[in-house]
Chains A and B, each alone.
Chain A
């Protein structure tokens, strides 16, 4: 079945550091890819998405490019802030599965220190 693998956390960085959170996927069809963020005590918020190969999703300084050849969707940000501290989830939605469910990675906890 479909699956998403994220880099193990937790990740701790200093403010203004460069961030990469790796995400790779396995899918039967041609999935859409998402990054969701969960701030402490809150639900999941969509951060960005990409629906086809070579698409780049971007939002709030975060970017991720849909790489079909490497089945990856790595999240990057050039200069992180303390307010970016949260848990980040990579997810896919695969039309080949006939359902619109999201398949999530295990989440990566990010802590940014001032």
Chain B
């Protein structure tokens, strides 16, 4: 158990819909990262937040957004969903702003029908 929690574990929805994925980092970790794992694209970095502020952006679509709240939990919002958004979404956390190890949550499996 990494100490990173993600909810829900599974999500099934329809095209065009909007969903919110939630992540709680390890106690004491200030950075949260979101990754997408799909069969065709592999594991790709989406976005990082550090202590409530956006720190870095990767291959995140404009239909997707995220935020980190004062209690340091983070939410990833996916809107206007398409079939191709079906994937495993992982959250990871690390202590802070230097190059520490990232610890991953169990993931949320999203299926768009």
Binding site for B on A (CB under 8 A): 32, 34, 36, 42-46, 49, 51, 89, 93, 95, 98-107
- B103-A107 in contact (CB<8A): no
Interface of B is mostly: strand
With A34-B101, A102-B35, A105-B42 known, 7 other A-B pairs at CB within 8 A are A32-B99, A43-B90, A43-B107, A46-B101, A100-B56, A102-B33, A102-B102
Which B residues are CB-close (under 8 A) to A43?
Answer: 2, 4, 90, 104-107
Bound-state CA distance A42–B90 (Å) is 10
- B106-A42 in contact (CB<8A): yes
- B103-A46 in contact (CB<8A): yes
Q: How many residues of B contact A (CB 8 A)?
A: 25
Instruction: Contacts A43-B2, A45-B104 given; indicate if A100 touches B42 (C-beta within 8 A).
Output: no
Binding site for A on B (CB under 8 A): 2, 4, 31, 33, 35, 42-45, 48, 55-56, 58, 90, 92, 94, 97, 99, 101-107
CB-CB nearest in chain B for A98:
B56
Which B residues are CB-close (under 8 A) to A44?
Answer: 90, 92, 104
Which A residues are CB-close (under 8 A) to B33?
Answer: 100-102
- A100-B107 in contact (CB<8A): no
Which B residues are CB-close (under 8 A) to A34?
Answer: 101
Instruction: Contacts A43-B90, A104-B42 given; indicate if A99 touches B55 (C-beta within 8 A).
Output: yes
> Among A51, A101, A104, which residue has its beta carbon within 8 angstroms of that of B56?
A101
Which of B4, B43, B104, B107 is packed against the most chain A CB atoms within 10 Å? B43
Which A residues are CB-close (under 8 A) to B103?
Answer: 46
Instruction: Contacts A95-B99, A99-B48, A100-B94 given; indicate if A107 touches B104 (C-beta within 8 A).
Output: no
CB-CB nearest in chain B for A107:
B42
A-B pairs with the 7 shortest C-beta distances?
Answer: A99-B56, A101-B45, A104-B43, A44-B104, A43-B106, A43-B104, A106-B42
